[in-house]
Amino acid sequence: MAYMSAPASTIEEAVQAALATVDDPEIRRPITDLGMVRSATVDASGVVQVGLLLTVAGCPLRDKLRADITAAVSAVPGVTGVEIDFGVMSQEQRQELQSRLRGGATPEPVIPFAQPGSRTRVYAVASGKGGVGKSSVTVNLAAALAARGLSVGVVDADIYGHSVPRMLGADGKPTRVEDMIMPPQAHGVKVISIGMFTAGNAAVVWRGPMLHRALQQFLADVYWGDLDVLLLDLPPGTGDVAISLAQLLPNAEILVVTTPQTAAAEVAERAGAIALQTHQRLVGVVENMSWLELPTGERMEIFGAGGGATVAESLSRAVGAEVPLLGQVPLDTRVREAGDAGRPVVLEAPEAPASVALRQVADRLAVRRESLIGKPLGLRPSSR
């Protein structure tokens, strides 16, 4: 029986619809909306020729785009093959894309999370001293929140001791579109770190103004999209980055990480108390390395006990409002092993006690801010 092909116009319309289902892997929006599809034609034999414009030459996700486009278009009835011709956007086209992503031309990049209408919850994960597992907590909370279906971003603000890319398995490099940066993604989490811009394991030797500028660029120049939650992994202590954060993101909420050890708890109190000076909200305390569960079922409190509760109580008294102890995370070698492998323990071993505790903390943080823009406030003028 002779093969009856569908009318070309019908196939071309179906091909366009199929292309509209393909998202750019970095921007996570349809390639048709981003002006990346230069052309799409179907010849008499049913072979589709797609002209695609990459944002930059040598796009690291070219193969991913090829596979996604081929899969989507091949599913159209009547299509017998797919051929893709890659090109590169001109400077004008990249500027147009940048303007489209930012919702129109803006003279200067702004920090979207600092705007009054932002509905993104911003959590700055802080600690008084190093070695308490702050980065492990940040990475696992991010992965747990993303696994719940939220749009999540992480800023590795620990410029000198950056470790988030390794622990999250984000080994990609950022892509630049004009003066806008597309962050790599891992496990559904967008992430940016100074480690993505340095050669190998090179040290970063910067003074305060450079740290401030780096944090500002991470927040304003990176295209984050519409995030539900943004986590910032701060360096230990109350130095330049903590001060810059208060200036750039005054609405950020502070999450304090400590261990049960008395010395660590005392230092953590100072890290949390900076919120009194910056007028930021303390969302709570996470106690890490709380105990080691033995094969017998007993708990060995290697670093003592009660540090997290002590910090929460002390900060509650200081700010005059409840600062809850959000969770206690037990010691587990799988946390370290999973972090070294670039796969957070909440994904690698979800049944582990540490994973359960971290997911419970994530559940308490997974609340999207409500914007007041366009909402009636129920205010009435006084009759006096």
User: Residues 187-214: pLDDT tens digits?
Assistant: 999 999 988 887 666 666 566 678 788 8
| Inter-CA distances, 264 with 63, 135, 267, 306, Å | 48, 16, 5, 11
Encoded tokens for 175:
């892509």
Task: Identify the band that residue 375 occupies on the pLDDT scale cut at 50, 70 and 90.
Answer: very low
Encoded tokens for 277:
């000076």
Q: What percent of the chain has pLDDT over 90?
A: 52
pLDDT score recorded for residue 201: 64
pLDDT score recorded for residue 244: 86
For residue 382, pLDDT over 70 is answered with no
pLDDT score recorded for residue 237: 75
Q: Tell me: the pLDDT tens digits for 119-155?
A: 999 999 998 888 899 999 999 999 999 999 999 999 9
User: How is the chain split among helix, strand and coil, in percent rounded to 5?
Assistant: 35, 20, 45
pLDDT score recorded for residue 103: 64
Does this model's pTM top 0.95? Answer: no
Task: Identify the band that residue 2 occupies on the pLDDT scale cut at 50, 70 and 90.
Answer: very low
DSSP three-state, residue 23 = strand
pLDDT score recorded for residue 274: 78
Overall average pLDDT of the 179-184 stretch: 86
| Inter-CA distances, 238 with 198, 234, 257, 316, 320, Å | 25, 9, 14, 19, 21
What domains are there in the chain, each with its CATH number?
A: 22-101 (3.30.300.130), 112-365 (3.40.50.300)
Q: Which of 5-19, 199-213, 292-306 has the highest mean pLDDT?
A: 292-306
For residue 374, pLDDT over 80 is answered with no
Task: Identify the band that residue 347 occupies on the pLDDT scale cut at 50, 70 and 90.
Answer: very high
Sign of CA dihedral 292, 298, 302, 308: positive
- 281-293 and 299-300 as β-strands: parallel, antiparallel, unpaired? antiparallel
8 Å CB contact between 122 and 152: no
